[in-house]
Structure 1
Amino acid sequence: MTASWFESPTLTGDRVRLEPLGVAHTDALLAAADDPAIFRWTASPITDREQAQKYIAAAVDDPNRIAFAQVSIATNAVVGTTSMYQIDPVNRSLAIGYTWLSRSVQGTGINPESKLLLLRHAFDQLEAVRVEWHTDEFNEQSRAAIAKLGAQFEGLLRKHRRRADGSWRTTALFAMTDDDWPTIAPQLETRTRN
């Protein structure tokens, strides 16, 4: 079971396909970075090709991270990225994050469907018992989106990560467990169909 935790599957829904992120996505990822505000809360903004290359290299080189390009089914265009990280097969847990979407597809259902695909993979294929999300305590949009998925707020992690400007961020921690999943899965499936 351990090896499958670190495989990079392609996950396909009705609106979005998650495919393993790689150097071939460089130009498409840069094109998707269509608004600097997307990166307000991230430590790795993408404003040019070199930054897109560095972002992809950092994601691919991290042994505890599986990064995906989010590809719109309707247009076959890369519209953002998301990852599974802090992968821990011994304790059957992982985190979902490093997510950003092109401004052009925000609010279209791509984000919740991406999360549904990742959660199905985590809970149904990997048999995870815990999935976490981490976001800046001040990122209200992200906090609301995570809560809307059905994840529970578990607290604040002080001085947890560095921001792009070098300051320390306090991280809001959310989680979902395998006990939650049977109730949340059908709700999330209904939400992504609408």
Structure 2
Amino acid sequence: MIAVEPVALEFNGVHLEPLSLEHVDGLRLAAADGDLWNLRVTSVPEPHRTQAYVHAALEMKDRVAFAVVDSSSGNVIGTTSYHDILPAVDRVEIGYTWYAKSVQRSHVNTSCKLLLLSHAFDTLGCAVVGFRTDNFNYASQKAIERLGAKKDGVIRHHAPRRDGTVRDTVMYSIVRGEWPEIKSHLHYQLSRHAC
């Protein structure tokens, strides 16, 4: 049975550290890089709601949230989490992920996912790691598929969006037996785009 605790992880110029209220200002700046809260299909907080966003993340019982920090500058460039943690079946999901626009389409997402997946499978002993996204968030779906995750299906009329509409949720997963090949592929992807 897995036990997910806050932990610091670092790789390839990216540092994940347990999210705290000390990260509020950095997250506010990261969200402002691209006005990310205006994207209908994400959960990026508006600047004046960043502190409440962090409070909510810290209060969730089945979520371990991280600040994504650029190792060289020390700047907060986004956030990600383990969530929907199910110890009885050795399952976690990775989500609540967003990055400043200036680091999107860089090594950051692949590096973060490699850190979290490695920790989940190699340290925690997870049997499966899941991902979910809005049915209209095509960029997120492509990013999840580039990781090597398999599409499990769609949960219809599943979760509210900030604009009051209700989204369908696209579910993906990676199972333990797939991890060695996916791990090798993620290292290969990063080697082709060395930072």
TM-score class, shorter-chain normalisation, is over 0.9
Query: Secondary structure at the residue paired with 1:99?
Result: strand
Instruction: Write out per-residue CA displacement over residues 45-94 of structure 1, whole angstroms, 9 at most, x where no aligned residue.
Output: 3222x411011001000010000000012321100000000011110001
Give the conservation status (yes or no) of the 8 Å contact 2:81–2:94: yes
Instruction: Write out per-residue CA displacement over residues 170-192 of structure 1, whole angstroms, 9 at most, x where no aligned residue.
Output: 01111100011011111111212
Q: Which residue of 2 aligns with 1:144?
A: 142
Q: Which residue of 2 aligns with 1:81?
A: 79
Higher mean alpha-carbon deviation, 29-38 vs 136-145, is at 29-38
Q: Which residue of 2 aligns with 1:164?
A: 162
Q: Which residue of 1 aligns with 2:121?
A: 123
Q: Which residue of 1 aligns with 2:9?
A: 11
Matched ranges for 1:15-164 at <5 A: 15-33=13-31, 34-37=33-36, 39-42=39-42, 44-48=43-47, 50-164=48-162
Instruction: Write out per-residue CA displacement over residues 86-144 of structure 1, whole angstroms, 9 at most, x where no aligned residue.
Output: 01111000100000000011112100100000000100011101111110111110000
Q: How many corresponding residue pairs?
A: 190
Q: Is there any run of 5+ residues in structure 2 with no aligned partner, and where?
A: none
CA RMSD of aligned residues (A): 1.3
Give the conservation status (yes or no) of the 8 Å contact 1:87–1:93: yes
Q: 1:184 to 1:45 in 2, by over 3 A?
A: closer
Give the conservation status (yes or no) of the 8 Å contact 2:40–2:161: no
- Percent identity reads 39
Give the conservation status (yes or no) of the 8 Å contact 2:36–2:44: no
Write the distance in 1 (CA, Å) between the matches of 2:154 and 2:45.
Answer: 27
Give the conservation status (yes or no) of the 8 Å contact 2:83–2:94: yes
Write the distance in 1 (CA, Å) between the matches of 2:72 and 2:151.
Answer: 33
Query: Secondary structure at the residue paired with 1:180?
Result: helix
Write the distance in 1 (CA, Å) between the matches of 2:152 and 2:100.
Answer: 29
Write the distance in 2 (CA, Å) between the matches of 1:163 and 1:98.
Answer: 13
